[in-house]
Amino acid sequence: MKTQYRNTAFRLSALAGAIALASASAWAADGDEVADLVKPESSIRLGIGHLSDRNRRFGQYNGLSEGRAYGLFDIDYARREDASGTWYRLYGRNLGLESRELRADVERQGVWGAFVDYSRILRLEPLQVTTGLSGIGTATQAIGGTAPREIDLQTRRDRYSLGFDKALGQGLDLQLRFKQEDKDGARIFGRGTGQFLAEPIAGQTQQLEAIINYAGKQLQLSGGYYGSFYKNRNSVLIATPGTAISLAPDNESHQLFLAGGYNVTPATRATFKVAKARGTQNESFFTSPDLAGNVQTSLNGRLDTTSAQLGLTTRPIPKLSLSANLRYEDREDKTPRYQFLTPSTGRDGFNTPFSRTTVNSKLEANYQLPMGFRLIGGVELEQRKRSVLSIRQASWREQNDEQSYRVELRRSLSETLNGSISLIHADRGGSDYLPANNNAAADFIDPIHFADRKRDKARFSMDWIPLEQLSVQLRVDDSRDRYAGRPRGPDTGTARLYALDGTYTVSDNWQVSAWFTRDDTRVRQSTLTGANGTTVLAQEWQSNLRMLGDSAGLSVRGKPSGRLEIGADLQFGRETNHYGLLANLPAAAALPTIVTRRTVLRVFGQYAVQRNFGLRLDLISDRARTNDWTWSDWQYADGTRVFQDPNTRVTFIGVTAIYRMR
Amino acid sequence: MKNMLCNLTRALSAAVLALGLIGPAQAADKAATKDLALKGDAVCTRCHDESEAYPVLAIGKTRHGTVADGRTPTCTSCHGDSKSHVENLKKEGQSGRPKPDRTFTGQLLTAPSADVVERYFGLAGKRTTTPVAERNGACIGCHQGGKRIHWQGSAHDASEVACTSCHQVHTQHDKVRDKLTQSEVCFTCHKEQRVQVSRMSRHPIKEGKVACTDCHNPHGTAGVKLLVRDTVVDTCYTCHMEKRGPFVFNHQPVTEDCSNCHNPHGTTNPNLLKARAPFLCQQCHEPTSHRGNIPGLLPGTGNAAGTRGVTQARSCLNCHTNIHGSNNPVNNAESRSLRR
């Protein structure tokens, strides 16, 4: 239900649109209506809101986390000089909040354009930490360095973008894009279960893209350069007492690419893309390698990627269309192999580059049957080859092959009933397993992304309009995985989805809609546990993981009068995580089922005071409950505790004035 | 005044038509008026004017309505010449005015809307029998280059998704091009993702800070799952470049596909993990040492079977902190195991 995903900081354009609607009816006889309908409009929203309580889950990304008042300010300015086709746009959202964003555009349409954009993404950690760790937010931290106190962790991304477009004539145009993101803050980290740490986040990413496009009637091309660069101000976390932890290294990648499409005939089109990329990582080590004689000061990492794609779509006869697609990707890790560490049992001390080559081919046919039906059939083959290391931490497979077959019956041209039913069968196998040779005696598991697997999926969807006022959507998905191979590890998996949506138009001025979705995902897997003294015996054990999600929504929109519009959205979600352990365990060890519930009610009323001025009232009530035991009664050896509030309730109320102009 | 006259004219015309006093061709032969929104739109806007229930003239507010740009269309560029509609040339037995050559419909919206465009095109709005390929052909005729090069044969094209299933052409604010409301359009079909983005572990999609199109190009790509960078890992690296490496010690599933462990649309486990550790890790790692240890809530913060140490807080990640890769050239036991 779309309105339920709206931000707590409300959307200006929707409000302005609604006011425009109210204006059109309330003042239909006033002014120059044609100009009102054809000229770009602008709007400003200004108001105040108040959050009842501190709630970092509610405000995790929207900046509304403390129990206080907030300024609400949005702007959407658009002006066009009709004679030259020049646009001036200024767009600001959440300008009164920390999650603010602002964009300015100037464009002479069809000739050139430029923009500058700023956006902040805030992520508040909802968990409350009480710790004596000092130096949080820096790369030098001391465990027990200060008296325990409550801290809030968060990260913040500040993103700046620049863009320039220029039409070069003859179907050519140039696009330049630059984006920089500075990410700062701290997040939960650690060194074993004894020491709580906070990972210092102080990174910068930059992306530069220069593209030249050509668009002709038959041929279209798009080629250019894409570069991406990561810099971390911290290469290591020194947390005393204890050993240092390396942090993410600087790295960069450069790609050249060319994509194109060619209309061979009006019924046949060919497409392609070729790309070549080189990634490097030369961050200086924070210390010299362990192994005597290794004088490497950095990894000298290098990853070369070559990719290509060819596609062909054609309609040889009016009722039949065919498409074929071939994709190739070779990721070759050319990082030189050096011995960095002193070898020990099961570890040779060398770095671990991984390379792989993937080839995917796909063929699909689509045939039109009578009465608006279409029959679709397709086959897809994928082969993935991986490089092999002499020392392996888990079972390894040098090659996987997967074949998928799909058949679908679809109806899509009826005015009242459309839908489809499709069946997919996929079979994945591959080469013989190479053992986890540092743990050969316990090599019992085929890794889930390598394992032989048969997958069967069925999907049914329907759009039905049984009455002029009523529309219904139904969707059912069923997917089953069966893993073959050794008896331990993943065994079976299922995923089901049921979704029912309906909307009833009571009258021109009132609409009601409701939806319900259930998703049910299960995995059965097994392994062997070691002994824990006499409390837990060494044994084979099985888990039956299940995530059951029920979500429902109800929405109402009404226009009791020409000036007043009201609405309400109620959304409820309940997620249940079962663990289903089949094991010989003392009762005190059992993992309770985790149930999380969330109910959100949003209500609004909007009154058009004048043709171009309106008032709006918004109310949001958010309640969340959980019995998640992840952090319950947990304490790090250094005394740090992490708390999750199991029951939160918060209310937000906002009053805004909206002014519309042209 | 103009509006009143127009309404009066239309009402009288309708009454005359109903009485059969004049032929349909004569009724359609209204005096030509000037263009209102697009070049050469007078043939349409002499009837489809400001008094329309559907705000057809609002296309003037859009890029399509920038008449100084010589590339912009007129009504018939998309809807066809529609001679039978303009001149009301009914087929034998046909009631009502013939439809234009090409008509478009919006998405099958499943929530009430405050927007008049959606009300008109949504559930109670009009449908169309114009084939999807013909509808899309009207758009592709001009919009085939750049990011739409791979439209033909893409997942959405093969599923007969019309451009207007997602895009609203006659409005200044096209919902699907606004990061805050874009996902609502996508969720019209993608129901599973609709609930996933509301889970406790998620990207800020509801807040409009991450949009579906930050990761996917719905117009088709050369790679998998309509991803903007053709592979899963390269798409994730656009925001999570710190995971790219290569590291001294890489974690193989990380280098291959982030979705081996994460569901980017949202999960009930921390950090978008598909399953809670240690269950997730045990799907690959053999039961040497503590790796197959059964999780439980018995006292103990080590890695013994049945204890909190292998279960609570960050579980396996309590120790294996650098799970995406370690660039540490020292300390064999720690760095090779992605702990330091």
The residue assigned the tokens 């906002």 is: A654
Residue B30 covered by a domain: yes
Residue B162 covered by a domain: yes
Q: Are B62 and B14 a contacting pair, CB within 8 Å?
A: no
B66: nearest CB among A2, A80, A442 = A80
Nearest CA-CA partner of B6 in B26, B39, B25, B31: B31
Q: Are B176 and B167 a contacting pair, CB within 8 Å?
A: yes
pLDDT of residue A294: 92
Shared domain check, B169 and B82: no
Shared domain check, B222 and B170: yes
- Domain termination residue (choose one: B90, B118, B143): B90
Rounded to a whole number of angstroms, the distance from the CA of B199 to the nearest CA of chain A is: 8
Integer Cα distance of A34 and A38 in angstroms: 6
Residue B2 covered by a domain: yes
Q: Hey, is the C-beta of A202 within 8 angstroms of any chain B C-beta?
A: no
**For testing contact with chain A, the best of B3, B178, B207 (most A CBs within 10 A):** B207
Average pLDDT of chain B, as a whole number? 86
Measured at the CA of B70, the angle between CA B64 and CA B73, to 5 degrees, comes to: 40
Residue B28 covered by a domain: yes
The band of A26, judged by pLDDT with boundaries at 50, 70 and 90, is: very low
Nearest CA-CA partner of B247 in A325, A486, A247, A545: A247
pLDDT of residue B126: 58
Integer Cα distance of A335 and B255 in angstroms: 14
Judged by CB atoms within 8 Å, which residues 294-333 of B form the interface with A?
294-298, 300-302, 304-309, 311-314, 317-319, 321-322, 324, 326-333
Average pLDDT value for residue range A240-250: 95
DSSP for A467-523, please give it: ETTEEEEEEEEEEEEEE-SSSBEEEEEEEEEEEEEEEEEEETTEEEEEEEEEEEEEE
pLDDT by residue (tens digit) across B274-307? 999 999 999 999 898 899 999 999 999 889 999 9
Partners of B241 on chain A (C-beta within 8 Å) are 203, 205, 228-230, 251
Residue B213 predicted with pLDDT over 60: yes
Integer Cα distance of A204 and A180 in angstroms: 7
Query: B212: part of which helix (H) or strand (E)?
Result: helix B212-215
Integer Cα distance of A598 and A494 in angstroms: 25
Give the count of domains, chain B. Answer: 2
Q: Do A630 and B312 touch (CB under 8 A)?
A: yes
pLDDT by residue (tens digit) across B38-48? 999 999 998 98
Q: Do A591 and B296 touch (CB under 8 A)?
A: yes
Shared domain check, B140 and B202: yes
Structure tokens at B147: 């990011």
Average pLDDT value for residue range A624-653: 96
Structure tokens at A453: 């697997």
Partners of A635 on chain B (C-beta within 8 Å) are 301
| Neighbour-count burial of A560, counting CB atoms closer than 10 A to its CB (0-12 exposed, 13-18 middle, 19+ buried) | exposed
Rounded to a whole number of angstroms, the distance from the CA of B111 to the nearest CA of chain A is: 5
Structure tokens at A406: 């799909």
Shared domain check, B141 and B64: no
Shared domain check, B158 and B83: no
Residue B179 predicted with pLDDT over 80: yes
The residue assigned the tokens 């609004």 is: A604
pLDDT by residue (tens digit) across A491-513? 999 999 999 999 888 888 888 99
Integer Cα distance of A24 and A28 in angstroms: 5
Shared domain check, B141 and B216: yes
Task: Give Cβ neighbours of residue A241 (< 8 Å, ≥ 6 apart).
Answer: A143
Residue B252 covered by a domain: no
Residue B165 covered by a domain: yes
The complex's ipTM? 0.93
Q: Do A344 and B332 touch (CB under 8 A)?
A: yes
Dihedral sign, CA of B99, B103, B132, A313?
positive
| Neighbour-count burial of B339, counting CB atoms closer than 10 A to its CB (0-12 exposed, 13-18 middle, 19+ buried) | buried
| DSSP-derived 3-state class of residue B222 | coil
The residue assigned the tokens 């020194």 is: A238
Phi, psi of A647 (to 5 degrees): -145, 105
Q: Do A249 and B67 touch (CB under 8 A)?
A: no
- Domain termination residue (choose one: B164, B194, B228): B228
pLDDT of residue B313: 95
B114: nearest CB among A14, A29, A490 = A14
The model's pTM = 0.92
Task: Give Cβ neighbours of residue B25 (< 8 Å, ≥ 6 apart).
Answer: B87, B88, B89
Average pLDDT of chain A, as a whole number? 92
Shared domain check, B138 and B60: no
Q: Are B311 and B278 a contacting pair, CB within 8 Å?
A: yes
pLDDT of residue B119: 57
Integer Cα distance of A406 and A458 in angstroms: 10
Average pLDDT value for residue range A575-595: 96
Integer Cα distance of B239 and A588 in angstroms: 42
Long-range contacts from B301-304, C-beta under 8 angstroms, 24+ separation: B301/A193, B301/A194, B301/A635, B301/A636, B301/A637, B302/A193, B304/A530, B304/A532, B304/A533, B304/A536
**In which domain, by residue range, is B206 found?**
132-228
Residue B98 covered by a domain: no
Structure tokens at B171: 């409005």
- Domain termination residue (choose one: B213, B228, B243): B228
The residue assigned the tokens 């969340």 is: A624
